[in-house]
């Protein structure tokens, strides 16, 4: 090649590079307080990155939606407009940990050629984005690209899917302890579900979440090719399914499509969110999922009441000192109602066995459900009944009106165990029909909440957590887990952990028992969970006989509300300990818990308005390390601003009910 042609070629290459560079567009968006910076690059790929106070949190990470046609929304995006807006509003919350939520953010919307776009929001404690489309007809989503690239091989708390229902991937109870591992140690051929937490250094934690998940599959993550980040993975759309799995009552897809969703062409897709904290305790009072959720679709919410529920399943209806045979029968549930009424508990739950598993209208002849419900009305105690998701999905059109007319207050719906598009849509459909019939819903055996509880506030419970039921069969480090989930799983919303076990033991004395199960840790740890854990439908897991024998603790436990007007995070470290305060009316409740490490905390009561207060306190007894049931009750005088030392036994707790005296 001679010099003349070489120069021409170099000029053409330079012009091409310049042309490509001109096609790339970048955008920047900051949080209202200026601490979080979001940077976007729109070129061949649409990539986002995040900084917090100058520290790089997320390095360029690609996002896109691939359609069945082959079109990729986000690749080579041609930006038509990029308007910015600010929001500073207040959300009035229903059955939540606070009554009002400040909703302040800055937003950038990329409107792209092709009738689609992406919305980005930056809050003072979180970053989120979502795709939207404005097209006619139907869209088939082949795949979604959601990369989250971190700067280093950080330590993380990751719930790895393990209990494959029916032996199939994407079928799970969504219950797992956290793998506390480096990102690069993510197990091969595994998936993790959200939320999960990453320690990004400088005391900062990042929690990955999704919100407003409607008519779309939930997001799992796998390690991406960088070895220092995640990629989104989604259950393919189910084409055929068969009963199988746990007890033969899971609906297990036997054939899946090569796409993840078939949906309307004009819609918004789920939010992908990162919550960022400088102190672990800040995660205890983060509202990002509530902020991103769709507003309530129920005009009249006056009939929706949160509350505690006496529950039969955990202790296998094992009651004693009664003149009838305990079991799945009318006398047993009247006894539960009597207990609930005497202790001002709003509900009882009738768990599995009251009806045919497949046909909700076939009631077990051993009990008279109408008589039980009517007896509950006389005692001002509502009755909630359990059902398999499959039976509900097949029979709710007939069953919901029947049981609503009977006076049943709601359904606890179990063994959902999937989060593909079909199931996610089903949970919205169930919530809507239940609301139409003024029925409450508690989703058990379900994936994590993503805001449905705001959109349909009659959904007052969610499992998606490795709850107390596991003590019936597993010997695991639950005390560490119970001081991990408030910073991770509870970020997504309420969790039906089913607290309240009164057979409390240390690790050496624990053994799995089915009918009268034990719980690891102390009595005061269990009591503190009623304050720490967010649960608008709060189960009392143990049986009435046990609670009556321990009336002093029962009286305290049943005075703790299921929802609150205000929450204040006091102290905490992920997997180590947690302490927070919640207010209902003019009464404050404070709960603190630790893992197996005994420790002393100093709680700062500056959150109290000025004045003097009386605190009814339950704390670990001096011998709680040997006998978990050992506790001490005392009454303290506390003034606003007081610094109170709190001693926690291994697996222990401390809990207080505080009223102003002058």
Q: Between 121 and 162, where is the model more confident?
A: 121
Sign of CA dihedral 164, 170, 172, 178: positive
Give the residue-averaged pLDDT of 62-79.
97
- Write down the pTM of the prediction: 0.95
Residue of 454, 431, 119 whose CA lies nearest to 287: 454
Q: Each residue of 550-596: pLDDT tens digit?
A: 999 999 999 999 999 999 999 999 999 999 999 999 999 999 999 99
User: In DSSP terms, which residues pair with 129 in a beta bridge?
Assistant: 120, 272
The dotted CATH code for 24-278 is: 2.70.98.10
Q: Between 10 and 353, where is the model more confident?
A: 353
Going along 278-409, which residue ranges are E strands? 307-311, 347-350, 382-388
Range(s) of the chain covered by CATH 3.20.20.70: 307-660
Residue of 218, 213, 224 whose CA lies nearest to 260: 218
- Residue 6 tokens read as 């070489």
Going along 322-451, which residue ranges are E strands? 347-350, 382-388, 410-414, 440-443
Q: Each residue of 421-480: pLDDT tens digit?
A: 999 999 999 999 999 999 999 999 999 999 999 999 999 999 999 999 998 999 999 999
Q: Are 16 and 26 in contact (CB under 8 A)?
A: no
Distance, in Å, from the CA atom of 627 to the CA atom of 521, rounded to the nearest integer, reads 9
Q: Are 469 and 498 in contact (CB under 8 A)?
A: yes
Residue 355 in this model has a pLDDT that exceeds 70: yes
Distance, in Å, from the CA atom of 589 to the CA atom of 59, rounded to the nearest integer, reads 41
Range(s) of the chain covered by CATH 2.70.98.10: 24-278
Residue of 91, 96, 120, 94 whose CA lies nearest to 107: 120
Backbone angles phi, psi at 345, to 5 degrees: -95, 130
pLDDT value for 12: 42
User: In DSSP terms, which residues pair with 264 in a beta bridge?
Assistant: 138
Report, as residue numbers or ranges, the catalytic residues: 414, 469
Q: Each residue of 15-50: pLDDT tens digit?
A: 444 444 447 899 999 999 999 999 999 999 999 999
Distance, in Å, from the CA atom of 442 to the CA atom of 461, rounded to the nearest integer, reads 4
Residue % of the chain over a pLDDT of 70: 97
Yes or no: domain 307-660 corresponds to CATH 3.40.50.720: no
| Residue located via tokens 């989104």 | 232
Residue 1 in this model has a pLDDT that exceeds 70: no
pLDDT value for 216: 98
Q: Each residue of 123-160: pLDDT tens digit?
A: 999 999 999 999 999 999 999 999 999 999 999 999 99
168 φ/ψ sector (left φ>0, alpha ψ -120 to 50, else beta): beta
Residue of 353, 325, 345, 374 whose CA lies nearest to 544: 345
Residue 406 in this model has a pLDDT that exceeds 60: yes
Give me the chain's average pLDDT, please: 95
- Residue 56 tokens read as 């790089």
Residue 246 in this model has a pLDDT that exceeds 90: no
Using 50, 70 and 90 to split pLDDT, how confident is the model at 250?
confident
Residue 11 in this model has a pLDDT that exceeds 60: no
Give the residue-averaged pLDDT of 619-633.
98
Distance, in Å, from the CA atom of 109 to the CA atom of 212, rounded to the nearest integer, reads 18
316 φ/ψ sector (left φ>0, alpha ψ -120 to 50, else beta): left
Using 50, 70 and 90 to split pLDDT, how confident is the model at 82?
very high
pLDDT value for 2: 54
302 φ/ψ sector (left φ>0, alpha ψ -120 to 50, else beta): alpha
């Amino acid at each position: 090649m001679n010099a003349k042609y070489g120069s021409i070629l170099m000029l053409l290459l330079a012009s091409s590079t310049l042309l490509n560079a001109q096609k790339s567009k970048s955008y920047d968006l900051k949080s209202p307080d200026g601490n979080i910076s979001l940077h976007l690059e729109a070129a061949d790929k649409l990539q986002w990155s995040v900084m917090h106070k100058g520290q790089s949190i997320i390095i360029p990470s690609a996002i896109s939606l691939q359609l069945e046609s082959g079109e990729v929304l986000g690749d080579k995006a041609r930006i038509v407009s990029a308007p910015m807006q600010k929001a500073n509003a207040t959300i009035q919350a229903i059955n939540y940990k606070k009554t009002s939520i400040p909703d302040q953010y800055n937003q950038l919307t990329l409107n792209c050629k092709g009738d689609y776009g992406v919305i980005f929001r930056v809050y003072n404690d979180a970053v989120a984005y979502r795709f939207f489309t404005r097209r006619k007809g139907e869209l088939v989503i082949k795949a979604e690209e959601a990369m989250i690239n971190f700067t280093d091989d950080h330590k993380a708390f990751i719930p790895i899917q393990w209990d494959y229902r029916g032996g199939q991937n994407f079928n799970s109870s969504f219950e797992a302890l956290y793998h506390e591992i480096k990102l690069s140690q993510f197990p091969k051929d595994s998936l993790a579900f959200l939320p999960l937490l990453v320690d990004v250094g400088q005391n900062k934690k990042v929690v990955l979440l999704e919100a407003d998940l409607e008519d779309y599959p939930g997001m799992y993550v796998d390690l991406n090719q960088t070895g220092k980040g995640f990629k989104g993975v989604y259950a393919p759309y189910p084409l055929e399914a068969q009963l199988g799995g746990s007890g033969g009552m899971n609906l297990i897809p036997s054939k899946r499509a090569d796409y993840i969703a078939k949906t309307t062409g004009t819609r918004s897709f789920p939010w992908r969110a990162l919550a960022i904290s400088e102190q672990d305790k800040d995660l205890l009072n983060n509202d990002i999922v509530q902020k991103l959720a769709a507003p309530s679709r129920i005009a009249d919410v006056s009939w929706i009441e949160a509350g505690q529920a006496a529950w039969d399943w955990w202790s296998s209806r094992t009651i004693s000192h009664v003149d009838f045979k305990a079991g799945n029968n009318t006398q047993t549930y009247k006894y539960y109602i009597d207990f609930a009424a005497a202790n001002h508990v709003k509900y009882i739950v009738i768990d599995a066995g009251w009806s045919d598993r497949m046909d909700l209208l076939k009631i077990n002849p051993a009990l008279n459900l109408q008589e039980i419900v009517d007896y509950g009305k006389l005692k001002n105690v509502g009755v909630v009944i359990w059902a398999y998701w499959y039976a509900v999905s097949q029979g709710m059109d007939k069953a919901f009106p029947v049981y609503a007319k009977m006076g049943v207050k709601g359904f606890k719906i179990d063994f959902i165990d999937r989060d593909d598009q079909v199931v996610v849509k089903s949970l919205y459909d169930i919530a809507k029909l239940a609301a139409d019939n003024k029925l409450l819903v508690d989703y058990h055996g379900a994936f994590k909440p993503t805001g449905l509880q705001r959109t349909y506030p009659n959904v007052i419970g969610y499992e998606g957590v490795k709850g107390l039921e596991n003590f019936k069969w597993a010997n695991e480090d639950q005390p560490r887990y119970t001081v991990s989930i408030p910073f991770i799983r509870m970020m997504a919303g309420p969790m039906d952990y089913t607290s309240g076990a009164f057979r409390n033991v240390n690790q050496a004395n624990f053994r799995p028992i089915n009918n009268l199960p034990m719980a690891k840790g102390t009595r005061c740890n269990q009591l503190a969970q009623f304050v720490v854990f967010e649960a608008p439908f709060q189960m009392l897991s143990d049986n009435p006989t046990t609670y009556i024998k321990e009336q002093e603790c029962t009286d305290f436990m049943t005075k703790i509300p299921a929802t609150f007007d205000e929450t204040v995070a006091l102290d905490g470290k992920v997997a180590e300990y947690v302490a927070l305060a919640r207010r209902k009316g003019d009464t404050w409740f404070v709960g603190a818990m630790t893992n197996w490490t005994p420790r002393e905390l100093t709680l700062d009561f500056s959150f109290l308005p000025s004045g003097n207060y009386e605190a009814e306190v339950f704390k670990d007894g001096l011998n709680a390390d040997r006998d978990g049931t050992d506790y001490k009750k005392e009454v303290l005088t506390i003034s606003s601003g007081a610094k109170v030392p709190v001693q926690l036994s291994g697996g222990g707790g401390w809990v207080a009910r505080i009223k102003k005296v002058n």
